[in-house]
Amino acid sequence: MGHQLLPVSLPLLNHPSSKWYHRETVALHLFLATYNPGKVAEYLSLLGTLPLDLVTPSQVGITTAPEETGATFEENALLKAKYYLERSGLLTLADDSGLEVDALNGGPGVHSARYGGPGISDSDRVRKLMKALEGVPWERRTARFHCVVALAWPDAAWETFHGTREGYIALEPKGANGFGYDPVFFLPELGMTMAELPPEVKNRLSHRAEAARKAMLRLQKETAVTQLVGNRSPKTSFRG
């Protein structure tokens, strides 16, 4: 069974200099650095076996977000993880992900969430993508989802974990599950789009699932409280 989000009081937002700071308290909570309800639902399922209480920005009154200025998914994931670590004092998990379409020279890439400009809907972005690929034959519609999960610890250590999923951009959207570009991301081995998959299947196969599993394995190795806060390589990247 996956995690449920539990009420969290502001004293848990602590830095080592705070009178509220307790290594044991910080180590038992994992801050999910996202406002996206779709991502929150996925992580609640993906990280359900961890002995950690999951915390989101809305639970603790954090309403701001960093400007995503990185040139890569890894840079943006780390930028977000460090930003929310600074504001929460908690072990923080952030991700950055996007769609890389070969016929668009890897675009929209790191701009996937902002493709077409700010304030437009997922369906508007999908329409823009389909417009950009008009006339592109099936064999040239290859694409991949790429996700980087970053973990940032209160002692300034950080690690990153990569996951990818290969596929094609469909000729038309199909499916009502998922979010973002899922309705047009076709998985040839399954004969359906990502949005047609039941959530439990997507959570086994997606780019985010792959990266999250690697992060979860890293956290599972650190079950002792003192290990969870310290005793790790300060900067690491894992690719899959």
Which of the residues are catalytic? Answer: 96
End-to-end CA distance of the chain: 26
What single letter denotes the amino acid at residue 69?
A: T
Question: For residue 92, which of 6, 35, 31, 27 has the smallest C-alpha distance?
Answer: 31
- For residue 175, CA distances in Å to 129, 141, 142, 194, 230 come to 17, 19, 19, 8, 44
Buried b (16+ CB within 10 A) or exposed e, 65-88: ebebebeebbbbbbbbbbbbbebb
Which tokens belong to 142? 């290859």
Cβ atoms of 92 and 85 within 8 Å: the answer is yes
- Alpha-carbon distance 187 to 193, whole Å? 6
Cβ atoms of 158 and 152 within 8 Å: the answer is yes
What single letter denotes the amino acid at residue 216?
A: M
